[in-house]
Structure 1
Amino acid sequence: MPHLDLIEPEQAEGAVAELFETAREVFGVVPEPLQLFANKPSVAEAVFRGFAPSMEQTNLSPTFFAWLRYLTANHTRCTHCIDVNAAILLEMGVDRRALAAARKDPGTVPLPLGEKTLLLACIEVVRDQGLLDKAQIEDLKRYGFSDADLVTAFHHGAHSHAVDLMINAFGL
């Protein structure tokens, strides 16, 4: 039970109602975190728009981003986010054994080598708040990732981390 009231879609007005309609078009539902963040419409908008770069690019797979959110949620212990992203990954054809194994060892994630390497780098940065050195960036680029791909991936991990912390803080 969240510690703050959720803004129900039926109660939403103005910009929040428009944002909820867009969310419904994208996800089929208005996610509970968005209803929570709608207590401050500009925050709800920023959270929602923060995921847009991953949907606008074409070089990284949706499965990569789902794994990144899932493993970030595992690190932040955001049970809501773990459950949501596990359901997304299951729908994408990932089996439960792979989910359990990845939570123990992210290196077991069933992704192509380039995406797996990028995923592990993103998780390392989120987990350790560390810096990548030039050699690590060059290694990632050898897999064909552009600067834009790298910025998008690391932004997605950092944004997911921040959203997870907010969800945890308000008991969702």
Structure 2
Amino acid sequence: MSRLPLIQPEDATGPAAELLAGVRNVLGVTPNMVKAMANSATVLDAYLEFNAALADGVLPVGIRERIAILVAQENECDYCLSAHSFAASRQAKLDNDELRRVRNGTSSDPRSEAIVGFAAAVVRCRGDITEEQLRQARASGLTEQEIAEVVGHVALNVFSNYFNKAADVEIDAAWPSVRHDL
């Protein structure tokens, strides 16, 4: 059971009601995470705006979902691991073998592996990457824009991981539950 109340869209008022309605319009559902974030319309708005801004970047959905899965695995966030594994299988058509590879910081696709590897370095070093790690990312073909966006996606996912863990948000029934312990 969540440590924060899950604000139901029909009970929400003011900015929180508008934000929850927007999420439902886009996704067709209102995930438990956003219901918990709706305890502060400011937090929910910050998350949604950050997410929307990064979605307009150069990294395609399959890469974004890989980063989210890797970060959730590293942070042991079962809520995000479940949500993003579900999204990655549906939206990016990643199979179970690829999902497992990504959780371990690799990929069957060399370009995806370079990006996931760099994201793993960023999250594991808490942003304090070495010149060698940055050189390897560039040598793997990552552009400066992609490098910047990988860091942004790591930060976005750390935010949602920490929120979900702190609030102990219950995994939505619509998604298969995925546990961080491989």
- Where does the alignment leave 5 or more consecutive residues of structure 2 unmatched? 170-182
1:151 is the counterpart of 2:144: no
User: Aligned pair in 2 of structure 1 residues 106, 136: CA closer, same or farther (>3 Å)?
Assistant: closer
- Opposite residue 45 of structure 1, the aligned amino acid is D
C-alpha RMSD of matched pairs (Å): 2.0
User: What residue in structure 1 maps to residue 96 of structure 2?
Assistant: 96
> For residues 141 and 27 of structure 1, what CA distance do their matches in structure 2 show?
35
TM-score (normalizing by structure 2): 0.82
- Opposite residue 36 of structure 1, the aligned amino acid is A
Q: For residues 39-50 of structure 1, what are the structure 2 equivalents within 5 Å?
A: 39-50=39-50
What percent identity do the matched residue pairs reach? Answer: 23
> For residues 81 and 54 of structure 1, what CA distance do their matches in structure 2 show?
17
Q: For residues 1-172 of structure 1, what are the structure 2 equivalents within 5 Å?
A: 1-57=1-57, 59-91=58-90, 92-103=92-103, 105-107=104-106, 109-111=107-109, 113-142=110-139, 145-172=142-169
How far the C-alpha of 1:135 sits from its partner, in A, is 4.9
Determine which structure has the larger helix proportion and give its number. 1
Kept in 1: contact 2:68–2:84 (CA 8 A): yes
> For residues 114 and 101 of structure 2, what CA distance do their matches in structure 1 show?
17
TM-score (normalizing by structure 1): 0.86
> For residues 77 and 138 of structure 1, what CA distance do their matches in structure 2 show?
28
Q: Secondary structure in 2 aligned to 1:5?
A: coil
